[in-house]
Amino acid sequence: MRLIEKDDPAVAALIQKERSRQETTLNLIAAENTAPAAILDALGSAFNNKTAEGYPGRRYHTGCRVTDELEQLAVERAKALFGADHANVQPHSGVNANLAVYGAVLNPGDRIVSMKLSHGGHLSHGDAASITGRIFQPSHYGVNPETERLDYDAIRDLVRQVRPRMLVAGASSYPRLIDYQTLRSIADEFSARLLVDMAHIAGLVAAGAIPSPVPHAHFVTFTTYKTLMGPHGGVILCSADFAKKIDRSIFPGTQGTPTLSLVAAKAVCFHLAATPPFRAVQERTLHTAALLAAELDSRGYRPVSGGTDNHMVLADLRGKGLKGDQAEAALEAAGILCNRNVIPFDPESTLVTSGLRFGTPGISSRGMGPEEVKQIAGWIDRILSKPDDPSIQKNVAAMVADLCRRFPLRDRLEG
Ligand SMILES: *Cc1c(COP(=O)(O)O)cnc(C)c1O
């Protein structure tokens, strides 16, 4: 910080302010986490200054001896952590990782089948607003209206009708486990490839806290910054027979030079994710999410699908006569951060919504546990019972500030 304070006080001040905002608010945004300081060190390292098109041993620049060692280390760690044959650690983001998988095995105009965005899927799975929806011909499956869970018979019917070249699974707001084995058998039956995008849950999978898609999918993509607690970036895993195609599809197919400081940070992330404290944080994340779902449920905020098997809770606000945008703003006024989210078959628009998505990775990595989650659920209810009452928000904000002081953000992983 010292040099940036001298050389660019404006940005230095913003970094300080942002750090303090994170320190003093309760982060229940399911897609976020706090990376240990070792990750930030790697991001701000000398590897930023290296340009290295290509792959270890096959670069289009000189001076890559150390860079090659670094990328190989990151690849080996990713493979070991997830039990994969091959890993590509160069994707700049989760969306880039998905684009490269499509590029490796699909042609423009090919059919894909994926989960619809409004039921929890992701833009990059062929949604109309994404370029993936224009390049390919997507058909979407959703959840069953009664169970609010994936209906594998319906998915099979859709795949049988559409005969896609790729079946895509994985979601941004689906609180349940996914049956990868069944999806693979559906893909195999109709000669489709299976891509599982495990962006949200990669940390839980790395810790062995929930089942892994790696043994079942042809391709697995993920981001390293959500439950995995690493930098903002993407990774592709695949079996050995697709290794060359995937690597070529990242470079030169969809990216230029890798960001080597980001590769360094991913290497640190995979190292830390193999340690007992990381597993303890992931187990606590699962436990606190289940507890949050139960606590909200008992107060009349129905968890979509009845609960959760992962780190997130999708709350249906209709029973309280509330809208997502209004509820999100009322909670933010008290320092409780979550996001409005459409629920399956939501009558409201994506800007308004009938739901709130909560996640427990952020509070679990700063050490909060069951007692704190019970308190937080009570505060959420107090605020949402009178969302237009600023005095309640002020009152809760003081307790939020106190809780945050008792559980400071951690620079190192602790169980
Ligand atoms: C978050 C997310 C991504 C996007 O990753 P970016 O790093 O923002 O590109 C992709 N897929 C799923 C399922 C996600 O939840």
Q: Where in the sequence of the chain do the CATH 3.40.640.10 domains occur?
A: 40-273
* Per-residue model confidence as pLDDT tens digits over 363-403: 999 999 999 999 999 999 999 999 999 999 999 999 999 99
- 3-state DSSP helix/strand/coil % of the chain, to nearest 5: 50, 15, 35
Nearest CA to ligand 1 atom 6: 94
Q: Above 80 in pLDDT, residue 1?
A: no
- Name the 3-class secondary structure at 364: helix
Q: Which residues contact 18 (CB under 8 A, 6 or more apart)?
A: none
Distance CA 138, CA 88 (A): 26
Average pLDDT over residues 407-414: 96
Instruction: Pick the atom of ligand 1 nearest to 171's CA.
Output: 13
pLDDT confidence of residue 2: 84
Percent of the chain with pLDDT over 70: 100
Residue bearing the CA closest to ligand 1, atom 15: 172
User: If you search the block for the tokens 């209206």, which residue do you land on?
Assistant: 145
Q: Which of 130, 220, 223, 227 to mutate to test the pocket of ligand 1 (most atoms within 8 A of CB)?
A: 223
User: What phi and psi values does residue 137 have, to the nearest 5 degrees?
Assistant: -105, 100
Position 13 pLDDT exceeds 70? yes
| Model confidence pLDDT, tens digit, residues 321-348 | 999 999 999 999 999 999 999 999 999 9
Where does the chain hold its CATH 3.90.1150.10 domain(s)?
A: 276-406
Task: pLDDT band for 415, please (50, 70, 90 cuts).
Answer: confident
Question: In a mutational test of the pocket of ligand 1, which residue from 96, 130, 172, 205 has the highest number of ligand atoms less than 8 Å from its CB?
Answer: 172
Question: Which residue minimizes the CA distance to atom 5 of ligand 1?
Answer: 94
Residue 283 φ/ψ region, left for φ over 0, alpha for ψ in the -120 to 50 degree band, beta for the rest: alpha
Mean pLDDT of 1-24: 95
Per-residue pLDDT, averaged over 124-130, amounts to 97
Average pLDDT, the chain: 98
Ligand 1 atom nearest the C-alpha of 197 is: 13
- Where does 40-273 sit in CATH, by number? 3.40.640.10
- CA-proximal residue: ligand 1, atom 8 (nearest): 94
pLDDT in tens, 278-300: 999 999 999 999 999 999 999 99
d(CA 408, CA 34): 11
Q: Report phi then psi at 167, rounded to 5.
A: -105, 125
CATH architecture of structural domain 276-406: Alpha-Beta Complex (3.90)
